[in-house]
Amino acid sequence: LFGELRLIPQHVLDDEGERAALAEALRITFKNSLLYPVTTASAPREDSITAIPDLKFDKLLDSLSRLVPRFQFDLPPYFINNARALSTLEGIAKVLDPSFNVLTIMYPYALNRLLQNPTQSPVVERTLQTLIRSNDGRIDRRKIRRLLRDSALISGVSKRRVVWDVVKTKPGRKLTRSILGEDFRMLLKGNGRRNNALTDGRRQKRKKKWFYLEL
């Protein structure tokens, strides 16, 4: 994705050591910038999975600014000014509302961009498929339920609203038809297997019947 956006020179991305260092640096950055609520040992595992982190935008900006010279980021001149302005606005919002979490504003937009994929990025498409499919490439209903649950939890709306926001977009309708179509084919395939098993069972019974008649 960094290569597609041309944020990092290609020679840096082609270096396996540099890519590994960048991945580790980003992991540490997000670990320090996303603060998850403390859960008790008795808390259900599902709750801990969907806990909403609090994004510390100032820490994120500070960490990213340190990565810019290290990995030769090629950023537009207005990027830092815009980022600082967003950090200031977040600070004002938190003064007015201490429970304000910028993720609740960003997440619906990010989800919409993920579905729309206006640049037809293969990286974005793979990311979307990873969110809804298992390792063998099949539609994973548990992943879809988790995605809906997390989307509703982070954005603060109902699951039905999340579904409606998805299906009212053209890419969302296409994705929904793809999921339903694949589920329908799997259902037909499963029914076909059961019918074949029943047919084979009847054949075996008939063979046994003729066997005893011949005796």
CA distances from 118 to 3, 94, 175, 203, 206 (A): 17, 32, 15, 55, 60
pLDDT at 21 > cutoff 60: yes
Closest CA to 165 of 123, 112, 114: 112
**Strand ranges (DSSP E) for 56-184?**
none
Q: Is 154 exposed, middle or buried (0-12, 13-18, 19+ CB in 10 A)?
A: buried
Pick the closest to residue 137 from 197, 182, 167 (CA basis). Answer: 182
Question: Among the listed ranges 9-13, 35-39, 196-200, which one has the minimum average pLDDT value?
Answer: 196-200
What are the strands, taking DSSP E only, across the chain?
34-35, 54-55
Contact 118, 5 (CB under 8 A): no
Confidence category of residue 202, pLDDT binned at 50, 70, 90: low
* Among the listed residues 26, 105, 39, 101, the one whose alpha carbon sits nearest the alpha carbon of residue 67: 26
**Residue 140 — φ and ψ, nearest 5°?**
-110, 105
> Can you give the pLDDT at residue 144?
85
Res 195: pLDDT: 57
74-83, 125-134, 188-197: lowest mean pLDDT where? 188-197
pLDDT of 2 over the 50 cut? yes
Give per-residue pLDDT as tens, 122-159. Answer: 878 888 888 888 888 888 888 888 888 888 877 777 88
Instruction: Give the pLDDT score at 211.
Output: 39
Instruction: Provide the pLDDT confidence category of residue 204 given band limits of 50, 70 and 90.
Output: low
Tens digit of each residue's pLDDT (9 = 90 or more) over 95-124: 998 888 887 777 777 777 777 777 777 878
Say yes or no to pLDDT of 192 above 80. no
Query: CA-to-CA distance for 54 and 34, rounded, in angstroms?
Result: 6
Could you tell me the pTM of the whole model? 0.56
Burial class of residue 44, CB neighbours in 10 A (0-12, 13-18, 19+): exposed
Q: How confident is the model at residue 90 (pLDDT cuts 50, 70, 90)?
A: confident
Give the whole-angstrom CA distance, residue 167 versus residue 28.
36
For residue 39, CA distances in Å to 21, 44, 47, 53, 56 come to: 31, 9, 9, 12, 19
Q: How far apart are CA 58 and CA 32, in angstroms?
A: 11
Q: Report how far Cα 102 is from the mean position of its chain's Cα atoms.
A: 18
Residue the block writes with tokens 């988790």: 146
Using pLDDT thresholds of 50, 70 and 90, give the confidence band for residue 6: low
